[in-house]
Amino acid sequence: MTETSTTRSLVEIRSLVKAFGVLPVLRQLDLTIEKGEFVALLGPNGSGKSTLIRLLSGLSKPTAGTIHIGGWELPQEAAAVRAQIGLVSHRPLLYENLSARENLVFFSRLYNLPKDAANARIDDLLVRVGLGRRTGDMVRTFSRGMQQRLSIARALLHSPAVLLFDEPYTGLDQDAAAILDDLLTDTHAAGQTIIMVTHQLNQAAKLASRVVILSRGKIGYDAPTNGLDTLQLASIYTQTTSMATAKQ
Amino acid sequence: MKTPFFKAVLSIVRKDLRTELRSRELISSMGLFALLSILVFSFALELDRIARQEAISGVLWVTVVFASFLGLNRSLAMERDQGNLDAMLIAPIARTTIFFGKLVGNFLFTITVGLLLLPIMTVLYNVSLVQPLVLAVLFMGTFGFTTVGTLLATMTVQTRARENLLPIVMMPLALPLLLAAVKASTNLLTDSATEDWVAWVQILAMVDVVYLVMCYLLFEYVIEE
């Protein structure tokens, strides 16, 4: 850990560049996120949102620039960073032929959680995500919404400092989306820092404490949501993304 | 901060065994393919006893190798298609634990098929294959093949033509290993002099060690973006 870690924000991104070959996806991105914030990352397809999530989770390496999470630097201190993040993707990242409990037990072992503490945590999380009665059922028998809830339990298992969501509403019906809304609200209320990539402007306006709009690999808008409704956010989104397109 | 190496490897192996015991996807496809292959060979090779003894190790290794391609592809594709490789990659474990975890699982599935083949082939070809030294060569050959196969399947699983690509990239690399395994087992089954098979077993052991070290060193680069 660097010496300045105690004074750092929870997530610090400085001059971040990510390019695939000669094609830059993120261009000199600067972003700071404090503990307890719920940041909604918006932007059109190809703006670099998912790339940013992959960089923050250590699945991808930056071309240039620095990323610090909890004072640890990526990719040099990747193992320490990985212990502090939880990822919920649009894919559930679960084993279909294992039960809900077996999936969580497997991941608790990978996170080196003590057995007794892990069992208690798994029981608690399964109840919290509304799967307390389906703990022994195979994941392949779960609906998409149930798989996504189990995926959140998996991501919360090791009590990460930062929870990353990459388009978690993909494929969810209205009821499942409403359950996910409640889960996200509760998780944020418990003090969890959340970064969520989404195309759902209503969810971003309703749940997030801050909105960041990415456009062509740069931050086009970054402000708290204070009282912002979906229509106002949609207007800001259109202005931000069309301005970036016009500049091209 | 990292999860201990053996704990992570063991967790991955247990997970692979448990999912396979439930679905029987790998063992059933590998076993069925292997059984069909040796039956076809047994119909085709109605040879005299000596010719059979010389051909049987080739039949054994061709069957094990192609059954193993099926298993290797499927084992890594299951991780990739459901995104579980990403879930393991964001856990605080050394990348190489994923390699060793998958390697042990792949080896156990392939050797199970190999061990099932030996008594069946003994009956079909009327040549005793259940011998301690043949078993040792089978273990060593299968281990080396699944070692290099696990590394290469991790690479090819990220491509669209993964089923076709794995044998193409793997055969040239696995050739020294297969040559040593086939020669060692042929010499053992034809009751050749000790010096005829010992050298091939030594080569096989050496290739196993070299491949294991190389794959261990290269896996982190293969698994990265």
Q: What is the pLDDT of residues B71-112, one digit of tens each?
A: 898 888 888 887 888 899 999 999 999 999 999 999 999 999
Q: At residue B215, what is the residue type?
A: C
Identify the closest residue of chain A to B15 by CA–CA distance: A106
Q: 3-class DSSP state for residue B157?
A: coil
Q: Report the percent of chain A where pLDDT is more than 90.
A: 47
- CA dist., res. A172 & res. A168, Å (int): 8
Per residue of chain B (225 residues), what is the pLDDT tens digit? 678 899 999 999 999 999 998 888 888 889 999 999 998 888 887 767 777 777 889 999 999 999 999 889 888 888 888 788 889 999 999 999 999 999 999 999 999 999 999 999 999 888 888 899 999 999 999 999 999 999 999 999 888 777 788 889 999 999 999 999 999 999 888 878 888 889 999 999 999 999 999 999 999 888 876
| Contact across the interface for B86 and A89, Cβ inside 8 Å | yes
- Please name which of A65, A75, A3, A53 lies closest in space to residue A162, comparing C-alpha atoms: A53
Q: How confident is the model at residue A244 (pLDDT cuts 50, 70, 90)?
A: low
Q: 3-class DSSP state for residue B3?
A: coil
pLDDT value, residue A242: 81
Which residues of chain A have a CB within 8 Å of the CB of B19? 95, 97-98
Distance between B75 CA and the closest CA of chain A, angstroms: 12
- Please name which of A158, A166, A56, A64 lies closest in space to residue A107, comparing C-alpha atoms: A158
Which residues of chain B have a CB within 8 Å of the CB of A92? 82-83
- CA dist., res. B2 & res. B8, Å (int): 10
Distance between A17 CA and the closest CA of chain B, angstroms: 16
DSSP-derived pairing of the beta strands A85-88 and A162-166: parallel
Q: Are residues A79 and B91 in contact, defined by beta-carbon separation less than 8 angstroms?
A: no
pLDDT at residue A248 is higher than 60: no
pLDDT value, residue B215: 95
Q: Name which residue leads in pLDDT, B179 or A46.
A: B179
pLDDT in tens, B37-48: 998 888 887 767
The per-residue b/e assignment along A137-161, b for 16 or more CB within 10 angstroms, e otherwise, is ebbeebeebbbbbbbbbbbbbbebb
- Please name which of A97, A119, A139 lies closest in space to residue B17, comparing C-alpha atoms: A97
- List strands edge to edge, sheet with A72-74: A23-33, A11-20, A64-69, A72-74
pLDDT value, residue A5: 46
A19 HSE (CA, 13 A, CB side): 11
Q: Are residues B107 and B143 in contact, defined by beta-carbon separation less than 8 angstroms?
A: yes
Report the DSSP beta bridge partners of residue A33.
Answer: A11
Backbone angles phi, psi at A23, to 5 degrees: -90, 110
- Please name which of B62, B68, B71 lies closest in space to residue B26, comparing C-alpha atoms: B71
Mean per-residue pLDDT of chain A: 88
pLDDT at residue A106 is higher than 50: yes
pLDDT at residue A26 is higher than 70: yes
pLDDT value, residue A22: 82
Which residues of chain A have a CB within 8 Å of the CB of B3? 109-112
- CA dist., res. B107 & res. B219, Å (int): 17
pLDDT at residue A237 is higher than 70: yes
pLDDT at residue A2 is higher than 60: no
Which residues of chain A have a CB within 8 Å of the CB of B90? 57-59, 82, 85, 87
pLDDT value, residue B117: 93
pLDDT value, residue A3: 43
pLDDT at residue A7 is higher than 60: no
Q: Name which residue leads in pLDDT, B142 or A45.
A: B142
ipTM above 0.85, yes or no: yes
Backbone angles phi, psi at A42, to 5 degrees: -110, 165
Q: How confident is the model at residue A190 (pLDDT cuts 50, 70, 90)?
A: confident
- CA dist., res. A126 & res. A103, Å (int): 11
| Contact across the interface for B15 and A111, Cβ inside 8 Å | no
pLDDT at residue A177 is higher than 90: no
Contacts of A130 (CB under 8 A, 6+ apart): A149, A179
Q: What is the distance of C-alpha A235 from the center of its chain?
A: 24
pLDDT at residue A247 is higher than 60: no
pLDDT value, residue A168: 87
B87 touches chain A (CB under 8 A): yes
| Contact across the interface for A79 and B92, Cβ inside 8 Å | yes
Q: Are residues A37 and A14 in contact, defined by beta-carbon separation less than 8 angstroms?
A: no
Report the DSSP beta bridge partners of residue A163.
Answer: A86, A194
Contacts of B111 (CB under 8 A, 6+ apart): B138, B139, B142
Return the residue in A18, A109, A164 with the most chain B beta carbons within 10 A, the one to mutate for interface testing: A109
B2 touches chain A (CB under 8 A): yes
Q: What is the distance of C-alpha A69 from the center of its chain?
A: 13
- CA dist., res. A85 & res. B190, Å (int): 59
pLDDT in tens, A75-101: 888 888 888 999 998 888 999 999 999
Contacts of A59 (CB under 8 A, 6+ apart): B86, B89, B90, B225
Residue ranges of E strands in chain A: 11-20, 23-33, 38-42, 64-69, 72-74, 85-88, 162-166, 193-197, 210-215, 218-224
Residue ranges of E strands in A34-117: 38-42, 64-69, 72-74, 85-88
